[in-house]
Amino acid sequence: MLNMDLDFIKKLIKPAKTKIVFLVMDGLGGLPNYQTNLTELETANTPNLDLLAKKGICGLQQPVAPGITPGSGPGHLALFGYEPIKYQVGRGVLSALGINFDLKPQDIACRGNFCTVNENGFVTDRRAGRIPTDKNKQLCELLRKIEIPGIDIIIETVKEYRILLVWRGENLSENIIDTDPQEIGKKPLQPKAKSKDAESTAIIVNNFLDKAREKLSEHSPANMILLRGFSKKPNWPSMKESFGLNCAAIAAYPMYKGIAKLLGMNILETGETISEEFSTLEKYWNDYDFFYLHIKKTDSSGEDGLFDKKVSVIEELDTQIPRLTNLNPDVIVVSGDHSTPSLLKYHSWHPVPTILWSKHCRSDKVEKFGERDCICGGLGSRYPSCDLMPLALANAMRLEKFGA
């Protein structure tokens, strides 16, 4: 079968007044606890999600490819129908979008981490003891004093140990390797060029890092920075262009706002709690066709290895489901961007439980929302995540028939 692509779908889009909601529990999928043999989702008491699973069609989506552990970017892009191997975006660009930084087409963005190096220059902490955001701001002031002739280097605080660097000037290239060695006990890598045309950029970055090392030398634990994800803002079709949808994102964390913005969604002001996010959904209900509502804490509790915490976040979300169904959406999708099993304390490759509900979804025999129940769902046990958006559009009566 030919790959389903955005151009193919675009030709079939027809106007409608229907509303679609994507409820994305970050890192939703899990692994069974050794004692109970139940995953976080299977452990959670979720009467409202179970009812939705029973009325809807279920399955497990595979965001990128078999065995591939997705980052947040690819995981979300796949959910929204953008094939993540084709639509790749650097972490630098995501960081920029996430703090509302207005990247110009020629800008090179990269993400920076404050880190700790020892007297020999070896990394001892890749996150500089997770310094507070205020400290980050002070250090950024220092770094802004570095000058490199012929180029503007814009430095912005993101959060805790994370910063954004934007390289603005003539003939800069994004083809620079990450300097983050990804493990402690190693030296930061040299910012080498991946292509001939990036060599002058590599010299500039190297020059900057030498000066940064000097400026930060007295500021342990944040006495160096690691750079990664050199990238330019991609020029992708928006979800409005691809699917004819007026889209809104309800997300509290910068990264997710960034992804949403990249696809042309409007970012709605919201609070950090799940309940506040649902209030935002209610407030703007009449203004959009498509809502992306992002729940962060399923992922962060998974990454921290907190099984019970992740269970309670899922249960908290479950209590809010009636607020969603009371709005009478036409299509509800509940899933995640990837799995984050508490057992692994990290993103994983495991496929992600999904519910798709509409009046015309043709429900299956799944009666409970959980990893193993979803295996026998009608969507399939390891279906490509990019299938979800066309299925949601079909269920929202937004696609024309193909062919005579």
For the bound state, the minimum distance from the C-beta of residue 32 to a second copy, rounded and expressed in Å, comes to: 7
Residues 15 and 6: their CA atoms lie apart, in Å, by: 17
Among residues 3, 35, 326, 328, the one that binds a second copy under rule CB under 8 A: 3
β-sheet bridge partners, residue 69: none
Rounded Cα distance between 75 and 84, Å, is 8
* Contacting residue, 46, 61, 72, 242, with a second copy by CB under 8 A: 72
**Applying CB under 8 A, which part among 123-131, 135-143, 311-319, 362-370 lies near a second copy?**
362-370
Least separation in angstroms between CB 391 and a second copy:
4
Residue 382 CB, nearest approach to a second copy (Å) = 5
| Residue in 7, 102, 269, 400 binding a second copy, rule: CB under 8 A | 400
What residues from 282 to 321 belong to the interface with a second copy (CB under 8 A)?
Answer: none
Cβ of residue 357: shortest distance to a second copy, in angstroms? 14
CA distances from 290 to 11, 120, 341 (A): 19, 53, 29
x/- binding map, residues 30-69, to a second copy, per CB under 8 A?
-xx------x-------------------xx---xxxxxx
Cβ of residue 330: shortest distance to a second copy, in angstroms?
Answer: 14
Contacts by residues 279-283 (CB-CB < 8 Å, ≥ 24 positions apart): 280/250, 281/21, 281/250, 281/323, 281/324, 281/327, 282/323, 282/327
**CA dist., res. 398 & res. 120, Å (int):** 61
- Asked if residue 71 binds a second copy (CB under 8 A), the reply is yes
Q: Which residues make Cβ contacts (< 8 Å) with residue 37, sequence separation at least 6? A: none
> Is 85 one of the binding residues for a second copy (CB under 8 A)?
yes
**Residue 91 contacts a second copy per CB under 8 A:** yes
Applying CB under 8 A, the span of 150-158, 166-174, 292-300, 389-397 interacting with a second copy comes to: 389-397
Under the criterion CB under 8 A, does residue 185 sit at the interface with a second copy?
A: no
Cross-strand bridge partners of residue 58 = 355
